[in-house]
A and B are shown apart, each in its own frame.
Chain A
Amino acid sequence: MSPAAKPRSGPLARGLDALDERLELCGPLTKALKKPLPETVTWYHCFGGMTFFTFVVLVVTGVVLAFFYVPSPDHARASVAWIESSLPFGSLVRNLHRWSAYAMVVLVCCHMIRVFVHGAYRKPRELNWVVGVLMLIAVLAFGFTGYLLPWDQKAYWATNVGINMADSVPLVGPFVADLLRGGPELGALTLLRFYAAHVFVLPAALALGLVLHFAMVRRQGIATPL
């Protein structure tokens, strides 16, 4: 990682040097990794990073689950039961996914409280607070859509309640409820659109939000607590 062009030996070091000679990655990488933190950083500043770590765990375990889960009313329940009972490490992967999801909600709230208590949302960081709140909504949407996927009684009725809550909003409620359900009744189309949102739309949206969030933290630095 030394920026100076010292001659190094070994095939790996030579390969890395050749890559760096062409792409010049070492300089920016070293700059990024060696950026000093302010003296005021505490352990409470770790909540954001921990939330990101749960996101990584959720992506990895989610990809594994996607190899075996079927988003169809005929097979959803059976495929989840099969993952739990017959797939090697299946129960572990699924429960890591579940518990990481719970942990993510808890940690993102801790992170938000930390930012609020430190007053880190103030000018010039208002935009990053807004991005953060949008990502909080995405995290809760992850939880809501993921809850339906096992397609058991609890999932079905919890989603029914959630959609009825949206339905009770004045004016736009019925429209939003139909949009969530994909029709007048909770059924196959609801499961499929919750699945699509859970594995395609929301991950892409959250990844974009994370890029903006981190870029702004780097640009603006870490706020000094009040």
Chain B
Amino acid sequence: MDRQRDEAEIPAPAQDGPPVTRSRFLVWTAGVAAGAVAAAFGVVGLPPIVAPMFRDSDTGWTPVGRIDSAQPGQPDISAAGTVVATSFTRTVTDAYLPPEKQKTPVFVVCDGGGEYTVFDARCTHLGCPLAWSSTDREFLCACHGAVFDDRGAVTAGPPPRPLDRYEAKVEGGVLYVGALREGGS
């Protein structure tokens, strides 16, 4: 191989900047190759780590119970205005851990016309469990004296927002709950 000729500068095409020598060409080639490898590492390595930040929790719809099966002596869930303390059981999956059943207490209120409101049974102040007072038609919190009315609005005490609600729908006579929505939103 004629190294003298190889080392010679190849005249640059009509443009500004220093002429493209072999070593300059190799530096750029190595730089681009290294950049491509680094980019490939990023493309492969970052998604597993950052994906959870972009993933919405899709809880789906969970049945709470039938609305047409009122038992004698029990409150009728389908009677408008009746607040019923009940719960639903959802299977929660935490990564590789075995799925666990989790029971969540809720208050269900029929608004009439087949529409239901499902309140989260925790105070929006610090998460204490709420009690329903049917005589005063109020939700009471024992921790700091918070009071919510039967629409979930704060009437007394420290809570920063109305009661949280679950998305609700009725299908085939069964009440389902979906995602939890923050109160007042």
Contact stretch, chosen from B45-53, B79-87, B106-114, B152-160: B45-53
**Interface SS of chain A:** helix
Is B48 a contact partner of A60 (Cβ separation < 8 A)? Answer: no
Is B96 a contact partner of A88 (Cβ separation < 8 A)? Answer: no
B42-62 Cβ-contact flags toward A at 8 Å (1 or 0): 001101110100000000000
- Our pick among B47, B49, B95 for the contact of A82 (Cβ within 8 Å) is B95
C-alpha spacing A78/B97, complex, angstroms? 7
C-alpha spacing A90/B97, complex, angstroms? 17
Is A64 a contact partner of B49 (Cβ separation < 8 A)? Answer: yes
Q: How many residues on chain B are close to A (CB under 8 Å)? A: 13
Is A81 a contact partner of B96 (Cβ separation < 8 A)? Answer: yes
Is B44 a contact partner of A33 (Cβ separation < 8 A)? Answer: no
Is B44 a contact partner of A89 (Cβ separation < 8 A)? Answer: yes
- CB of A118 within 8 Å of the partner chain: no
- Our pick among B27, B48, B98 for the contact of A89 (Cβ within 8 Å) is B48
Is B96 a contact partner of A78 (Cβ separation < 8 A)? Answer: yes
C-alpha spacing A63/B47, complex, angstroms? 13
C-alpha spacing A34/B49, complex, angstroms? 38
C-alpha spacing A100/B96, complex, angstroms? 25
Q: Which residues of A contact B48 (CB under 8 A)?
A: 64, 67-68, 87-90, 93
Is B97 a contact partner of A67 (Cβ separation < 8 A)? Answer: no
- CB of A122 within 8 Å of the partner chain: no
Smallest CB separation, B22 vs chain A (Å)? 12
**Given contacts A1-B27, A33-B27, A34-B23, A61 and B45 within 8 Å (CB-CB):** yes
**Given contacts A1-B27, A33-B27, A60-B41, A89 and B47 within 8 Å (CB-CB):** yes
Which residue from chain B places its CB closest to the CB of A92 in the assembled complex?
A: B44
Is A88 a contact partner of B51 (Cβ separation < 8 A)? Answer: yes
C-alpha spacing A70/B96, complex, angstroms? 10
Which residues of B (19-54) have their CB < 8 Å from a CB of A? Answer: 23, 27, 41, 44-45, 47-49, 51
**Given contacts A64-B49, A78-B97, A82-B95, A93 and B27 within 8 Å (CB-CB):** no
- CB of A160 within 8 Å of the partner chain: no
Smallest CB separation, B37 vs chain A (Å)? 8
C-alpha spacing A1/B18, complex, angstroms? 13
C-alpha spacing A61/B42, complex, angstroms? 10
Q: Which residues of B contact A1 (CB under 8 A)?
A: 27
C-alpha spacing A108/B48, complex, angstroms? 30
Smallest CB separation, A105 vs chain B (Å)? 21
- Our pick among B23, B45, B98 for the contact of A93 (Cβ within 8 Å) is B45
C-alpha spacing A144/B178, complex, angstroms? 48
- Our pick among A33, A67, A75, A78 for the contact of B49 (Cβ within 8 Å) is A67
C-alpha spacing A60/B44, complex, angstroms? 10
- CB of A96 within 8 Å of the partner chain: yes
Which residues of A (47-61) have their CB < 8 Å from a CB of B? Answer: 57, 60-61
Smallest CB separation, A86 vs chain B (Å)? 8
Q: Which residues of A contact B97 (CB under 8 A)?
A: 75, 78
Q: Which residues of B contact A67 (CB under 8 A)?
A: 48-49
Is B45 a contact partner of A60 (Cβ separation < 8 A)? Answer: yes
Q: Which residues of A contact B51 (CB under 8 A)?
A: 87-88
| Chain A interfacial positions (CB closer than 8 Å to B) | 1, 33-34, 57, 60-61, 63-64, 67-68, 70, 75, 78-79, 81-82, 86-90, 92-93, 96
Question: What would be 26 A-B contacts, judged by CB atoms less than 8 Å apart?
Answer: A34-B23, A60-B41, A60-B45, A61-B44, A64-B48, A67-B48, A68-B48, A68-B95, A75-B96, A78-B96, A78-B97, A78-B98, A81-B96, A82-B95, A86-B95, A87-B48, A87-B51, A88-B47, A88-B48, A88-B51, A89-B47, A89-B48, A90-B48, A93-B44, A93-B48, A96-B44
| Chain B interfacial positions (CB closer than 8 Å to A) | 23, 27, 41, 44-45, 47-49, 51, 95-98
